[in-house]
Amino acid sequence: MKEMKEDKDQRTAGTVSRVTSQFKMIVIEPKSFDECPKLVDSLKARKPIIINLERVESDTARKIFDFLSGATYALAGNVQKVANNIFLFAPENVDITAQTEQQKSGGFNDSIKNPWR
């Protein structure tokens, strides 16, 4: 029986595996405040939400915005205005980069505090 000697200079190639992750984003146009807990569950599951508040009454839209803003803050996330009454609520694992001059200059932050002025 013949024994094989290990070659000290022998190298093995590493295994390359492809990892794909599915990034899911929720886009919603809520009809009532009652939908908020389900949206917060999405944020807790690290899924960003784009919410369109254009067709919701002003008082209800404000309540939804305030509720989701509080939840996003508690989860260390971020809020970004996309258009009039359309907002992106992102959990902490999602980076948001401002692209408009108003957002870059810092003027945007004031509009988030009171987006209905």
Chunked in runs of 10, what are the mean pLDDT values of the chain (117 residues)? 52 56 82 95 93 95 96 94 93 78 50 55
How far from the centroid of its chain's Cα atoms is residue 27's Cα? 11
- Say what the pTM is: 0.67
What residue ranges define each of the domains in the chain, with the CATH number in brackets?
Answer: 26-113 (3.30.110.150)
Beta strands in 1-117 (DSSP E): 26-28, 49-52, 78-83, 86-90
- The span from the CA of 50 to the CA of 89, in Å, is 6
What pLDDT is stored for residue 46 in this prediction?
A: 92
